[in-house]
A and B are shown apart, each in its own frame.
Chain A
């Protein structure tokens, strides 16, 4: 019932007056697991993040994390945090990172409280933000029927008609979650499903979920709030109006790499390119999770990448003889 995440006081000089061995920017699975591995290697470790849990916060249930057949996402976050709390890992939560500078082998991270954190090695694990459809009406009706967070906004659609845009795991999970609240749920996707078979089977067994594949949403239309979508059948090219109460956009994420995109190598999607040890093109700077070019955006894969980054950071520090 309570997702309590506050830690020590953010104004405590403890955070700002020292040179940390390893700072994880981000507290999703990658950042949390990295901090666990770094601390166990004896590194002075700090997590800095706006929110705990990262994109796990945007899902309701997790059923593909080894060891948990089915677990509520909040409970999984709580278990992650309880694990690192048992090692007294320091966390600074509730802040945005404004800038990152490397000078003289030291990373200086400016926060939006005007203070600075200093680190020998840095993990950049800031995940991503929901990708938008980039169609007419999307921004206008954001918060007025267009949503990017099922756990946050699902309750407003009790007994209503909603559409999920997307065809991957997160879209199918969103449809399943919404079917518990909404009267009718439709998935509209421009091509074929990419989601896991086990999720698709679960979705198809649900009578109030209906599927429109090979269908593109062209425009969002409404008045004070959303009223209908203009959709087009990709095969017949026939367009029609699809009336609805809410649209949930679940078409993946845009990597949150903007703070370092000018100093590290990225791919055409602005995902950070890392090697097998999660090293970026800048020495001492590592990246892990959904912000990297890793094609599989999965909780367990992000967590594993965080572990690899922390182990490589420990090696890097040892090599420098510090």
Chain B
């Protein structure tokens, strides 16, 4: 099969991933008749081959009831990132993070490996104070240059607080979800099913919405 990454992109990715600190695990959920499972598997396999700190497990959803429940998998393809202790920090991708979205994927890999996002102390204190369960969905399209920033922010919030889970949703693959959440512009951010933002908002705006819950 032809490779997804050309030599140039592969070289850049390898350099960036060489900064990973601790090992991480990616668990991907797939099923037989899924639309983009094949491409997503290939993408993850190619990324894994670039750095030995990344491990990949691929699960068929029909054989993985426990994990599907544990990671609250509702869509396929879907994958979660686990830290060095195989702890789930609420970082999930639904659909293939290709196009511009490769950036939010690679930054999630780096940050799950222990690289700090670089927020100031006040922000970190605010994030840590969140005590209610929060789920952030970020709908994206692959040609959207403003989307990776929103996905990155949502995932960073999840990594900093165990009460927060954050998931990218590729809007075209999951068109039923897009209709359900009335998505016609991206990035569209849905917080706990009822609060929404459109656009690549700064983290302060995410926090304002979350704190008002």
Least CB separation from A93: chain B residue: B103
Decide if A143 touches B9 in the complex (CB within 8 Å): no
Is there an interface contact between B182 and A224, defined as CB atoms closer than 8 Å? yes
Least Cβ–Cβ distance between A226 and chain B, in angstroms: 8
The answer to whether B13 and A4 have CB atoms under 8 Å apart is yes
> Is A87 in contact with chain B by the CB < 8 A criterion?
no
Expressed in whole angstroms, the Cα–Cα distance for A64 and B98 within the complex equals: 28
A82 touches B8 (CB 8 A): yes
Q: Among A4, A151, A155, A156, point to the contact of B106 (Cβ < 8 A).
A: A4
What separation, in Å, do the CA atoms of A224 and B186 have in the docked complex?
Answer: 17
Known: A1-B99, A2-B9, A156-B178. A144 touches B19 (CB 8 A): no
Which of B12, B16, B185 has the most A CB atoms < 10 Å from its CB? B185
Contact A4 B145, CB 8 Å, known A112-B202, A113-B118: no
Chain B neighbourhood of A142, CB < 8 A: 185, 198
Give the shortest distance, in Å, between A132 (CB) and chain B (any CB): 13
A3 interface residue per 8 A CB criterion: yes
**B110 close to A (CB within 8 Å):** yes
Which listed residue (B106, B115, B121, B147) contacts A152, Cβ 8 A? B147
Could you tell me if A51 and B149 are in contact, using CB atoms closer than 8 angstroms?
A: yes
Question: Among A5-13, A38-46, A201-209, A289-297, which stretch is in contact with chain B?
Answer: A5-13
Q: Are A9 and B110 in contact (CB under 8 A)?
A: yes
> Is B107 interfacial (CB-CB < 8 Å)?
yes
Given A112-B202, A114-B120, A156-B184: A6 and B103 within 8 A (CB)?
yes
Contacts A156-B183, A224-B182 hold; do A2 and B102 have CB atoms under 8 A apart?
A: yes
Q: Quick check: is A217 within 8 A (CB to CB) of the other chain?
A: no
Total A residues in contact with B, Cβ cutoff 8 Å:
41
Q: Do B106 and A144 touch (CB < 8 A)?
A: no
Assuming the A-B contacts A113-B119, A144-B185, A224-B182, are A152 and B144 also in contact, with contact meaning beta carbons closer than 8 angstroms in the complex?
yes
Which residues 84-125 of B have a CB within 8 angstroms of A? Answer: 98-100, 102-103, 106-107, 110, 115-121
A229 at the interface (CB under 8 A from B): no
B26 CB-CB contact with A under 8 Å: no
A152 engages B102 (CB within 8 Å): no
Bound-complex Cα distance A152 to B4 (A): 22
B155 located at the interface, meaning its Cβ lies under 8 Å from any Cβ of chain A in the complex: no
Q: State whether A149 and B146 are in contact (beta carbons under 8 Å apart), knowing that A2-B5, A94-B152, A224-B182 are contacts in the complex.
A: yes
B171 part of interface (Cβ distance < 8 Å): yes
User: Nearest B residue to A7 by beta-carbon distance?
Assistant: B16
9 contacts between A and B (CB under 8 A): A11-B116, A51-B145, A82-B8, A94-B152, A113-B120, A147-B185, A152-B143, A153-B144, A154-B143
Known pairs A4-B103, A57-B146, A113-B120. 7 more at Cβ < 8 A?
Answer: A2-B4, A2-B102, A6-B106, A50-B149, A51-B149, A53-B145, A151-B143
